[in-house]
Amino acid sequence: MLKAILESGTRAADIIRDMLNFSRSEETRKSPTDIHKIIDLALKFAHKDHQISDFNKITVNKIYTDLPPVYCSAMQVQQVLLNIFKNGAEAMASWSPIVHPPQFTIRTINHADHVHITIEDNGPGMSESVCKRIFEPFFTTKEQGLGTGLGLSISYFIITQNHNGSIDVVSTPNHGTRFLIKLPTNSVSAAG
Q: What are the domain boundaries of the chain?
A: 2-190
Asked whether the predicted pLDDT for residue 36 surpasses 90, the reply is: yes
Give residue-wise pLDDT tens across range 156-169. Answer: 999 999 899 999 99
Alpha-carbon distance of 156 to 130, in angstroms, equals 15
CA 37 distance to own-chain centroid:
16
pLDDT at 148: 57
136 vs 166: which has the higher pLDDT? 166
Asked whether the predicted pLDDT for residue 28 surpasses 60, the reply is: no
pTM of the model: 0.81
Q: Please, are residues 102 and 58 in contact by the beta-carbon 8 Å criterion?
A: yes
The stretch 55-75 carries a mean pLDDT of 93
**Percentage of residues in the chain having pLDDT higher than 90:** 50
Does the domain spanning 2-190 belong to CATH 3.30.565.10?
A: yes
Alpha-carbon distance of 138 to 145, in angstroms, equals 12
